[in-house]
């Protein structure tokens, strides 16, 4: 069935309605990165103080920032429509294949190609490739007007797979596959408890809070009131949480990053290639499978994003806080944050190449048109910049 192209709102009119925070989001993110690095380097006591605030291996400042960031995004999800996402077998199967087969394998190749002489950094990159994103991907997807319900479902699926498959794949990519190829192997044991805690803290708490907020809000006053009155008030807190999290992450590792500039560059190059290629390939795959813009965007961000909090925690627990593996995890957010912000704009630009906002005959209603999505996230995204 032929479909008309999704409407592209007038960019000038949309930008004029954005708040200062939304309009200059990339600038604020870069400023947050710079502030974090400056704090970590000039006032190292800040990083030491924040490192001391841990419970069960989870950094409280980072946890607070992520919870503030994720709660508004998850409060926007229409949970009564997630069942239809699970019915979209094309999306779910494609996501699983990219996230758990293609992406880790590609990171393995990049790690050996770019870092053949640096085994610690190479191992850290491989671990990063195994940690599928369950946090920041939700806000990148929201900023790019992706399918919120699909993002929530795919993140939940990745979380379950992460608990059961992280250790298995770590063993395979660090010991089994290198052995088959005649390469150097690495011995590592991963804590299932650390992975489970990461999932419960960074996804479980905001997911429950968002679900309860929407459920009771709609029950008391209805969906129209909830989306028109409640969401615009809590929406900006997603970006406040994002900026706070970035400052904390970079403050914690500022001294280490600035003391190893060339090592950071070598680790950054394969990460840059990874993000761009995985995102681009996923967009092309979604376009070829006629998934529509919203779900193709969701597929791409869930595939390209990584759970650096988990990767750093696992690397520290397994190899030590000052190890090269931990530094590789630390460099991750340095590259991921600005690159994925840029990819938000790339995704919005690609909308003109999609023939419709939904796949014909997919049987999934999702969140409606792009225009409806933009209205629902007013005040929290750069929409069509």
Task: Report percent pLDDT > 70 for the chain.
Answer: 78
Residue 192 confidence (pLDDT): 61
| pLDDT, mean of residues 378-383 | 41
Residue 17 confidence (pLDDT): 47
Residue 137 lies in a domain: yes
Residue 8 lies in a domain: no
Residue 306 lies in a domain: yes
Residue 378 confidence (pLDDT): 38
How many domains in the chain?
Answer: 1
* Domain, as residue range, for 41: 19-376
Residue 11 lies in a domain: no
pTM higher than 0.85: no
Average per-residue pLDDT for the chain: 79
Q: Measured between alpha carbons, how far is residue 199 from residues 107, 125, 132, 158 in Å? A: 22, 20, 11, 10
Is residue 171 predicted with pLDDT exceeding 80?
Answer: yes
d(CA 87, CA 359): 13
Residue 189's nearest CA partner among 318, 58, 324, 327 is: 318
DSSP annotation of 357: S
Residue 364 lies in a domain: yes
Residue 146 lies in a domain: yes
Q: Which two tokens stand for residue 362?
A: 């997919």
d(CA 99, CA 22): 30
> 182: domain CATH number?
1.20.1530.20
pLDDT in tens, 299-320: 999 999 887 767 776 776 677 6
The region of weakest confidence among 37-51, 124-138, 200-214, 258-272 is: 37-51
Point out which residues pair with 54 in neighbouring strands. Answer: 59
The region of weakest confidence among 94-108, 113-127, 140-154, 262-276 is: 140-154
Residue 93 lies in a domain: yes
d(CA 276, CA 282): 10
**218 near 226, Cβ under 8 Å?**
yes
d(CA 197, CA 203): 10
Point out which residues pair with 55 in neighbouring strands. Answer: 58
Q: Which two tokens stand for residue 355?
A: 């023939």
Residue 368 confidence (pLDDT): 40
Cβ-based burial of 331 (10 A; exposed 0-12, middle 13-18, buried ≥19): buried
Residue 5 lies in a domain: no
Residue 314's nearest CA partner among 180, 197, 155, 213 is: 197
**303 near 278, Cβ under 8 Å?**
yes
């Amino acid at each position: 069935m032929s479909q008309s192209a999704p409407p592209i709102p007038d960019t000038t009119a949309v930008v004029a309605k954005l708040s200062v925070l939304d309009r200059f989001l990339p600038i604020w993110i870069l400023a947050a990165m710079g502030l974090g690095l400056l704090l970590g380097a000039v006032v190292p006591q800040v990083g030491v103080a924040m490192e001391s605030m841990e419970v069960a291996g989870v950094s409280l400042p980072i946890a607070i920032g992520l919870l503030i960031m994720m709660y508004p995004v998850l409060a926007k999800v229409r949970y009564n429509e997630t069942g239809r996402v699970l019915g979209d077998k094309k999306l779910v199967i494609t996501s699983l294949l990219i996230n758990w087969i293609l992406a880790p394998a590609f990171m393995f190749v990049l790690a050996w190609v770019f870092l053949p002489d640096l085994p610690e950094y190479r191992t850290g990159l491989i671990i990063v490739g195994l940690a599928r994103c369950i946090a920041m991907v939700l806000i990148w997807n929201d900023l790019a007007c992706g399918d919120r319900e699909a993002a929530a479902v795919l993140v939940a699926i990745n979380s379950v797979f992460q608990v059961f498959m992280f250790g298995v794949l770590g063993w395979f990519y660090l010991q089994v596959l290198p052995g088959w190829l005649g390469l150097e192997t690495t011995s590592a044991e991963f804590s299932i408890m650390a992975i489970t805690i990461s999932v419960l803290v960074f996804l479980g708490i905001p997911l429950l809070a968002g679900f309860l907020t929407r459920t009771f809000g709609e029950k008391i006053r209805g969906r129209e009131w909830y989306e028109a009155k409640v969401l615009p008030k809590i929406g900006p807190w997603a970006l406040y949480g994002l900026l706070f999290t970035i400052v904390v992450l970079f403050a914690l590792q500022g001294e280490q990053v600035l003391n190893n500039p060339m090592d950071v560059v070598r680790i950054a190059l394969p990460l840059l290639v990874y993000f761009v290629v995985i995102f681009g390939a996923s967009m092309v795959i979604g376009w070829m499978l006629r998934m529509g813009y919203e779900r193709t965007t969701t597929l791409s961000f869930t595939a390209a994003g990584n759970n650096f909090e988990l990767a750093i925690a696992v690397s520290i627990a397994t190899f030590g806080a000052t190890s090269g593996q931990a530094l590789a995890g630390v460099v991750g957010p340095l590259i991921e944050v600005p690159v994925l912000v840029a990819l938000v704009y790339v995704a919005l630009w690609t909308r003109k190449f999609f023939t419709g906002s939904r796949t014909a005959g997919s049987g999934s209603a999702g969140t409606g048109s792009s225009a409806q999505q933009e209205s629902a996230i007013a005040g929290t995204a750069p929409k069509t910049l």
